[in-house]
Amino acid sequence: MDLAAPFDARTRLGLVLPMLVVVVVGIAVTAATASRSQDVRQQALERFSQAEANNTARILSLRLQQDGHAVERMGARLAIRGGAMPESEWRADAGAYLSDKPWLRALYVADETGVQWVEPEGGPAMAGLVGAPGGTGMSQSDMLGRLHAGAVARFEDGSDGMTAYYPFADGTGGVRVLVALFDIAAMLRASRPAYDEDFDVALTASTDGPRLAGSGRAVDPGTPYGSSAPVTTSYDVGWTLHTAPTSSFVRRMQPRTGLGVWMSGIGLTLLGASLAFMAQLARRQAVRLADVDAVRRTSEQRYNLVVRGMAVGVWDWGIRDNTLGWSPNAMRMLGLPPDHKVADAGFFFDRIHPDDQPAVREAIEAHFEMGEPYAPNFRMRHEHGHFVWCHATGQVLLDETGEPVRMAGSIEDITEERAAEEARNRSERRLRAVTQSAVDAVLTTNAQGIIEEANPACERVFGYRPDELVGSNIRILTPTEHRRKHDYYIKHYIETGDSNIVGKVREVYGVHRDGHEIPIELAVTEYKAGDDRIFIATARDLSARKAGEAEREAFIARLEQTNAELERFNFAASHDLREPLRMIGNFSQMLLRKHAGQLDENARKAVEICAGSAQRMQALLDDLISFSRASDDLGQIETFIPVDMIELARQNLAEDFESSQASLETVHLPAKLRTNPTRFSRVFQNLIANSIKYAKDGEAPKIQISAAPYEQGWLFTLSDKGIGMRPEYCEQIFEPFKRLHPASKYSGTGMGLAICRKIVNNAGGRIWAESELGEGSRFYVYWPEAPMDTDAAAAVNMTGSDDSMTEGESA
Ligand code: ADP
């Protein structure tokens, strides 16, 4: 926007209008002021006039009083002399009296016959007296010796005057009168020299109306601004003074004042109008600047939006004419072609989801009225019928009167963000549900270790309610001696990222509310939310498990002890029993050999039974000894070739092979095996011997040994085609002394398979059988490879007892 651009007509009107208003108001105020000032002036003139009247009347009244007293004194002097005063003396007295009183025209002494003396000589002759003494019905004696003033006189020249007369008795019994004749005009002139020019004055007597003028200029009491004041009353004659400003004076006053008001009014009006204009201009410029700023901001926003990519659209709403600009990106957002024509702003409002429309309207109103940022989220209908979530931003532009003119901004499809947010919220809710119902205590803390959340399980594990924990430091759950260490770990981790806690599962001790320590399995993970680091600790109470473990370990220890005792007893007993048994066997043999002839048939059979039993007993004891030794440690561990060890077993059983015509086949045996070779050979020797022993009558035993990789070692399978057994016996045959046949039919102790199982189990493997009666049997042996690093340990632990294990074994 160009600040220097000329204003449009509307703006020009906006600039001039306030100025015109000021002019009209100024003129009105000036007129009112002028009118008011006119009133004030009139009142002032009236007051002025009244004051003039009052003052002049008071002066006149005083003068009349003074002069009256002088006349009275003169009359008194005449009365004392009884009129016998020589004329020269009277003349001197009267001359002195008249000398400084220009308004006193003459003094007369008269009697009934006429004027006796006049001073000054040849003074104005009176045309007559109006209201002369006695005229009001007073008797002459009442009037004698008293001054009477106020009668109207009329001079021969037509001018008006006033008389004051003093009747006195002359010495001859007659009455004479001293008369003073006042010239009213002169008296008025002498009384009011200052305002002579500006006011017309007149003294009127009630007997003669206004005709009696004193100033030489007639005053009509009805004249504008005229005033009057009483001067004196005598013989029912009321003398009143009238004043009125001269027309020139009134004129002089009026035009000056009115013009002044108008001049000032117009001056102030013009000043006000210019100020209004300047203010409007300044405001308009400020609005323009704001517009420029807003436009700059909008264009910056637009630029940013463009940079941000295709998903963001731009819109521009002409509020006065309800037009709407809707950018191609925004069109695409709603599935419309980029050049889709928009009729008006209704396009936007109609597409908003009905549930969201009130919120959008409210956001616009709040932006217009309170200047709140416009940034609502709402749904808009896509061309395909579904709704897309939108985020809009906008900025209104106001005209110079503050009315919204335009609003422009951006619109963005946030459906995906919204879905992601909802998914996040859902997963957060799920997570919360999980932690709320979790058996383990789950706590979150900030980087300072302050607990922010705790689940209900915390109460079961630590004895604190979740609300008691929130806000506390996690240290309250740590045993005192570990607290400092814990603080160090967290601090160290935050500073270096090295952790002894975070990301690991450890068994540690926590402390219960009641003070006792609890073994816990602690897993701490870290979650970063912006700059905040949140630690999530899961604590599993191991008390029960630990108690169970301890119990089991104690039980195992007891069992092992008992076992060891039993084995020791077994071993010792077998050893100790061997000796007497050998004696029984030897002596039985000796009896049969050397004294057979001395024995009858029955005795000889008894001795034979005795010798056979001793032999079986011997075998039994040997097996028992082997069995008790089979649980020793692993013995010598070596890497050997399994076929070799099986061959060794075969050689040990060479006689059996020969007598039974048995055949042995080995298939897929491993090239190498790492375990104790003697024991390996011993197990297979037992199994092969059984297969030969439990062959079907009249059939040469056929034995096959195969192997396949299995778990951490090999699974060997030995199968024969012998008599087999019912499946339910397949497990029982591994129990010590368990036999399925009488010794008379198949020799044996029932210890062979028990020894095998003990050896295999001891090596970490398993042995089991599958069979059907008459269908042959399969024996499975899982033999794990011994780990490499056990060599040294095994060598140290080697007792050499392995060799003795073969001693006296039976199959
Ligand atoms: P013994 O062979 O000394 O009796 P064993 O512990 O070796 O003791 O075997 C236990 C029992 O399992 C035998 O008495 C026999 O009944 C049965 N048995 C063992 N091997 C086989 C086999 N290969 N076929 C059939 N029965 C067998």
Query: Model confidence over 465-479: pLDDT tens digits?
Result: 999 999 998 888 988
* Alpha-carbon gap, residue 141 to 148, rounded angstroms: 13
Atom of ligand 1 nearest to the CA of 722: 24
310 burial (CB, 10 Å; 0-12 / 13-18 / 19+) is exposed
| Type and span of the H or E element at 488 | helix 480-496
Per-residue pLDDT tens over the stretch 11-64? 777 777 878 888 888 888 778 877 776 777 777 777 777 777 777 777 777 777
Of the chain, the percentage scoring pLDDT greater than 90 comes to 25
Cβ-proximal residues to 387 (8 Å cutoff; 6+ apart), any chain = 353, 379, 380, 381
Q: What is the pLDDT of residue 221?
A: 57
Q: Which of 388, 453, 443 is nearest to 415 (CA)?
A: 388
Q: Is the pLDDT of residue 135 over 50?
A: no
- Both structure tokens of 275: 């100020």
Give the CA dihedral 235, 237, 238, 242, nearest 10 degrees.
Answer: -150
Written as one letter, the residue type at 485 is: K
3-state secondary structure of 531: coil
Pocket lining: 284 vs ligand 1, CB cutoff 6 Å: no
Per-residue pLDDT tens over the stretch 317-355? 888 888 888 888 888 889 998 888 887 888 888 899 999
Pocket test of ligand 1: the residue of 627, 653, 690 to mutate, having most ligand atoms within 8 Å of its CB, is 690
CB 784 within 8 A of CB 760: no
Q: What is the DSSP letter of 385?
A: S
Under the banding of pLDDT at 50, 70 and 90, the label for residue 263 is confident
> What is the arrangement of strands in the sheet containing 175-183, beginning at the earlier edge strand?
114-119, 104-111, 175-183, 160-169, 148-155, 126-130
Under the banding of pLDDT at 50, 70 and 90, the label for residue 634 is low
CB 479 within 8 A of CB 510: yes
Average pLDDT, integer, range 449-463:
91
C-alpha of residue 810 to centroid of ligand 1, in Å: 12
Cα 144 to Cα 4, 131, 140, distances in angstroms = 104, 17, 6
pTM: 0.39
627 vs 122: which has the higher pLDDT: 627
Per-residue pLDDT tens over the stretch 532-575? 888 888 999 998 888 998 999 999 999 888 888 887 887 888 78
| Type and span of the H or E element at 564 | helix 543-594
* Alpha-carbon gap, residue 452 to 60, rounded angstroms: 108
C-alpha of residue 611 to centroid of ligand 1, in Å: 24
C-alpha of residue 754 to centroid of ligand 1, in Å: 10
> What is the arrangement of strands in the sheet containing 532-541, beginning at the earlier edge strand?
451-454, 441-445, 532-541, 517-529, 505-511
Cα 337 to Cα 224, 330, 374, 401, 472, distances in angstroms = 91, 10, 27, 38, 59
Per-residue pLDDT tens over the stretch 180-226? 888 777 777 777 655 456 777 777 776 654 444 444 455 665 667 77
Pocket lining: 110 vs ligand 1, CB cutoff 6 Å: no
Q: Is the pLDDT of residue 153 over 60?
A: yes
Atom of ligand 1 nearest to the CA of 738: 10
Pocket lining: 696 vs ligand 1, CB cutoff 6 Å: no
Q: What is the pLDDT of residue 235?
A: 58
- Both structure tokens of 357: 């429309």
Q: What is the pLDDT of residue 137?
A: 42
Tell me the β-bridge partners of 441: 539
C-alpha of residue 660 to centroid of ligand 1, in Å: 17
Cα 441 to Cα 454, 510, 537, 672, distances in angstroms = 7, 11, 8, 51
Average pLDDT, integer, range 662-668:
95
Pocket lining: 685 vs ligand 1, CB cutoff 6 Å: no
Q: What is the pLDDT of residue 782?
A: 97
C-alpha of residue 811 to centroid of ligand 1, in Å: 9
C-alpha of residue 686 to centroid of ligand 1, in Å: 9
Pocket lining: 690 vs ligand 1, CB cutoff 6 Å: yes
Per-residue pLDDT tens over the stretch 577-633? 888 888 888 999 998 889 888 888 899 889 988 988 888 888 888 888 888 777 666
* Alpha-carbon gap, residue 444 to 451, rounded angstroms: 6
Under the banding of pLDDT at 50, 70 and 90, the label for residue 131 is very low
CA-nearest residue, atom 8 of ligand 1: 750
Pocket lining: 72 vs ligand 1, CB cutoff 6 Å: no
Pocket lining: 722 vs ligand 1, CB cutoff 6 Å: yes
Q: Is the pLDDT of residue 811 over 50?
A: no
Q: Is the pLDDT of residue 450 over 80?
A: yes
Query: What φ, ψ does residue 637 adopt, rounded to 5°?
Result: -100, 130
Tell me the β-bridge partners of 557: none
Pocket test of ligand 1: the residue of 627, 686, 691, 733 to mutate, having most ligand atoms within 8 Å of its CB, is 733
C-alpha of residue 767 to centroid of ligand 1, in Å: 14
Pocket lining: 376 vs ligand 1, CB cutoff 6 Å: no
CA atoms in the 13 A half-sphere facing the CB of 91: 10
3-state secondary structure of 752: helix
* Alpha-carbon gap, residue 417 to 368, rounded angstroms: 28
Q: Is the pLDDT of residue 143 over 80?
A: no
* Alpha-carbon gap, residue 108 to 367, rounded angstroms: 106
* Alpha-carbon gap, residue 609 to 599, rounded angstroms: 14
CA-nearest residue, atom 11 of ligand 1: 739
Q: Is the pLDDT of residue 433 over 90?
A: no
Q: Which of 608, 621, 611, 691 is nearest to 653 (CA)?
A: 691
CA-nearest residue, atom 21 of ligand 1: 690
Q: What is the pLDDT of residue 304?
A: 52
Q: What is the pLDDT of residue 688?
A: 97
3-state secondary structure of 215: coil
C-alpha of residue 742 to centroid of ligand 1, in Å: 11
Average pLDDT, integer, range 240-260:
71
